[in-house]
Amino acid sequence: MIFKNRSFFIFWQGQLISQMGSNIYLVVLVLWMKQVYESPKTLSNLLAIGNLPIVFFGMFLGLLIDRYSKKKIILWSDFASGFVLLVAYLILRHVSLSLDAQYIVIAFLTFLLGATSCLFESASAAILPFLVEKKDLAQANALHMSTDRIGSVVAQMLGGFFFSLFGLLPVMLANGISFVFSAVSEALIEPIRLDQRSKEQSPFQDFKEGFQHIFSSKGLKEYTALSMILNFSVAFSWVTFPFYVEDYLGKNEIWFVYILALQSLGIIESLRIHLLLRNKKMQWGIIKTYTLDFVSLR
């Protein structure tokens, strides 16, 4: 059983706690923005700010992850996330601010969380080979990916209830504490083999080789294009659904949460179907079909 591996279990529970907290907080934040500002443009700007780090720095993350300790990147990413959340909570809780000033604080917080999230997710995927034996790597990867998706479903379903019961600030506080707890636990991770850092050649050479590898592979080019389309499409749901559900359908925020949960369940089901298919051409065709259907519904 892979959970007998102490380091992997510590890593997994840290991932679960931080992902659950982040997804609950995101749902609550979107609902709070809808309630307070009543502006799709304001909400879309905030979500765009959160994605700026991955847009500008995402392509360089691999170079950073390869050159520094993955464990330290994971630990300090979680600690930094917890720290900025707790600082923002104290400011919003104890300082009297106008709505514009509150928006600036939350926008700055969202940008920082986007940056730490990029680092955490990239290092998390890269550290697995150093935590488990080669024979357990496939199981560890599957558990890592499924935990992220299933955690998203559960967290999104809880987000609406948490917003109704507590509002934004208590959830922000709890999320900050959960990140700090995860960071403390991740300090106990002990890789089973040395985390080699690649410093033999310059970062620019690594970057150039990475692009050459992507453009020389038809599969990677299609995967990259597909990922861009899919992520671009998914972003619309976070902006439009809160207003569509409340202003057009006349339902409360819980229905927005249901839609998000169904969306995540649909992604999980499509992955399950993909894994069941043995024919590679058929697998790729199914993925394209799901993506086109998904985009057309937007």
* pLDDT mean over 43-62: 79
CB-based contacts of 65: which residues, under 8 Å, 6+ apart?
A: 73, 122, 123, 126
Alpha-carbon torsion, ordered 200, 205, 211, 214, to 10 deg: -30
pLDDT tens figures, 241-284: 777 777 777 777 677 777 777 766 666 666 566 556 545 555 55
Least confident of 93-107, 128-142, 224-238, 279-293: 279-293
211-224 tens-digit pLDDT? 666 667 766 667 66
The overall average pLDDT reported for the chain is 77
**Domain span including residue 50:** 2-297
Residue 193 in this model has a pLDDT that exceeds 70: no
* Distance, CA of 13 to CA of 182 (rounded, Å): 8
pTM of the complete model: 0.75
16 has pLDDT over 70:
yes
Which pLDDT tens digit goes with each residue over 60-77?
777 777 778 888 899 999
At residue 263, the pLDDT reads: 67
Please report, for the domain that includes residue 289, its CATH number: 1.20.1250.20
Cα 251 from Cα 254, distance rounded (Å): 8
Output 33 or 250, whichever has higher pLDDT: 33
Q: What is the predicted pLDDT for the residue at 294?
A: 43
Residue 267 has what pLDDT?
Answer: 63
Number of domains in the chain: 1
Q: Which tokens belong to 285?
A: 């065709």
Task: Quote the distance between the C-alpha of residue 195 and its chain's center.
Answer: 24
